[in-house]
Amino acid sequence: MEQFFDVTIILLQGFWTNILIFALTLLISIPLGLVVTFGSMSKFKPLAYLSKILVWIVRGTPLMLQIFIIYYIPGFLGIPASSQLTSVIIAFAVNYAFYFSEIYRGGIEGVPKGQYEAGMVLGMTKPQIFKNIILLQVAKKIVPSMSNEVITLVKDTSLASVIGLTEIIKSSTQLMSSPGILYPLFYSGIFFLVFNGIVTLGLNKIEKKFSYYN
């Protein structure tokens, strides 16, 4: 029983890293995604193409590989990455920003043209139209797709172990090494389930909040 308590503490320490990656990734990637969307929807063609190529590269390669690249390449260029956590968060934030950007783009393109025209008739400028009319409708539309990605993100955080960051899966392999017990690996699943349960409740609340214009 005492051992179970110790195991729980060690797994919790590991899971804290997962939570940190999760929170910081969302914090960075949600606004960063919008920047990418503006890029790929830009009327300035070279920028639009560049954004689309970047979307292709980031979505087309495994996140695990991107973590390796972001962590190891700087070292070959002469400035070694100082922190595994920072590298992981950069990789995650960029990866998710590009996924989010496509969700945003779908949402923005889904708003009927008439909405823009109505704004113009009222004498609003383009940024005003975007801020006051379009954005809220987009936000409402994309919540279900975003929720899906957010829940995937919770589980993806375990990928951080590939460069040796001690997140919960790594913590449980540590416990396999000494005292050589296996159950923490399966037990770690409970942590993800509970956390995702909380996240799902939060997402449901957000979805309800956005149930305007119904």
Partner 1 sequence: MKKSVISFVLVIGMVFTMALGMTGCGGEEVSDWDYIVEKGTLIVGYDNAFAPMGFVDLETKKDVGFDLDLAMAVGEKLGIEIVLKPITWTTKELELKSKTIDLIWNGYTITPERENMVDFTIPYMQNQQVVVINKKNAEKYTTFESMKGAKTMAQAGSTAMGAIASNEFMKDNDLKTLDQNPLILKELQFGYVDVAVMDYVVVNYLLAQTENGIAEDLMIVEGLELASEEYGIGARKDSDTTEKINEALLELKEDGTLAEIAKKWGLEDLCLV
- Cα distances (angstroms) measured from residue 10 to each of 1, 24, 192: 14, 22, 15
Per-residue mark of binding to partner 1, 184-213 (x: CB under 8 A): ------------------------------
**What residues have CB less than 8 Å from 32, skipping those under 6 apart?**
93, 94, 97, 100
- Please tell me the count of residues contacting partner 1 according to CB under 8 A: 47
* Contact flag: residue 177 with partner 1 (CB under 8 A): yes
Residue 108 touching partner 1 (CB under 8 A)? no
Q: How far is the CB of 207 from partner 1 (least distance, A)?
A: 29
The pair of structure tokens assigned to 34 is 């919008």
3 binds partner 1 (CB under 8 A): yes
With the CA atoms of 37, 94, 69 and 59 taken in that order, what torsion angle do they form, in degrees rounded to the nearest 10? -50
Place of tokens 């996140």: 63
How many H helices and E strands in the chain? 9, 0
Can residue 72 be called a binding residue for partner 1 (CB under 8 A)? yes
Nearer residue to partner 1 within complex by CB, 183 or 194: 183
Query: Is residue 134 within 8 Å of residue 104, measured between CB atoms?
Result: no
Question: Closest separation between CB of residue 204 and partner 1, Å?
Answer: 33
Residue 10 Cβ vs partner 1, minimum distance, rounded to whole Å = 5
For residue 103, give the nearest of 157, 37, 7, 151 by alpha carbon: 37
Candidate residues 102, 135, 151, 166; the one interacting with partner 1 per rule CB under 8 A: 166
Q: Which stretch binds partner 1 (CB under 8 A): 57-65, 111-119, 143-151, 161-169?
A: 161-169
Q: Which is nearer to partner 1, 43 or 113 (CB)?
A: 43
Structure tokens of 86?
A: 């920072």
Helix (H, G, I), strand (E, B) or coil at 159: helix
| Contacts to partner 1 by CB under 8 A | 3, 6-7, 9-10, 13, 35, 38-39, 42, 44, 47, 50, 68, 71-82, 84, 126-127, 161-166, 170-171, 173-182
